[in-house]
């Protein structure tokens, strides 16, 4: 979570006020940090369960943020119009999605031209063992859906993103997972 908070601080310094969209699974924590740092911007969180949306709304009310909004939806079908967000951030969510290309295509769709995607996620060093990829416990632990960083960035490229940059990446033995933060840009035209 510290990595994500540092990421938000850096992005706010770069982009100033903006319309942010967070693909979430953590009750909007990163989004709330962004909203606090963006007094002239707006932050929208998307989560797939009513319970997580309610928790995020409660957290925003508790810290008295009025520039946040939380919507029920899935990252493969974002509840947003085309070309409306300046920045899309995703914190350890896309690895949970079987169709990563679809998730990146949706992020691309909702970004304005020139908009930025920044993801912090779990990726694999090589291919994960079959037993892990089929394990419900490994899926719940955000491990089973991890793909190689090269496949992850290829899915971003296939969606249309350019200037794909690995900002941070830890290391792991072959067949294990590690953390990476990647930035990409939606071209201006």
Using DSSP's 3-state secondary structure scheme, residue 37 falls into: helix
Taking domain 2-185, whether its CATH number is 3.90.25.10 is answered by no
Provide mean pLDDT across the span 63-81: 83
In this prediction the pTM is 0.83
Q: Give me the pLDDT at residue 85, please.
A: 86
Average pLDDT, the chain: 81
* Residue among 93, 116, 104 at smallest CA distance from 18: 116
pLDDT tens for 74-110 read 889 988 899 988 888 888 888 888 899 999 999 999 9
Domain boundaries, the chain: 2-185
Give CA–CA dist 180/3, Å, rounded.
Answer: 10
Q: Give me the pLDDT at residue 156, please.
A: 98
Start-to-end C-alpha separation, the chain: 34
Give CA–CA dist 60/32, Å, rounded.
Answer: 7
């Amino acid at each position: 979570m510290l990595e994500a908070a540092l990421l938000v601080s850096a992005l706010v310094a770069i982009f100033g006020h903006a319309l942010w969209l967070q693909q979430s699974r953590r009750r909007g924590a990163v989004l709330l940090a962004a909203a606090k740092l963006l007094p002239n911007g707006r932050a929208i969180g998307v989560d797939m369960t009513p319970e997580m949306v309610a928790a995020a709304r409660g957290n925003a009310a508790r810290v008295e943020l009025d520039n946040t909004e939380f919507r029920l939806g899935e990252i493969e079908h974002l509840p947003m119009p085309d070309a409306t967000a300046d920045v899309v951030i995703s914190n350890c969510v896309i690895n949970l999605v079987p169709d990563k290309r679809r998730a990146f295509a949706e992020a691309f769709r909702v970004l304005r031209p020139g908009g930025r995607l920044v993801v912090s996620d779990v990726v694999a060093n090589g291919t994960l063992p079959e037993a892990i990829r089929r394990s419900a416990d490994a899926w719940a632990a955000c491990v089973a859906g991890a793909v190689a960083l090269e496949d992850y960035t290829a899915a971003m490229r296939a969606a249309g993103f350019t200037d794909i940059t690995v900002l941070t990446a830890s290391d792991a033995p072959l067949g294990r997972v590690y953390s990476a933060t990647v930035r990409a840009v939606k071209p201006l035209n």
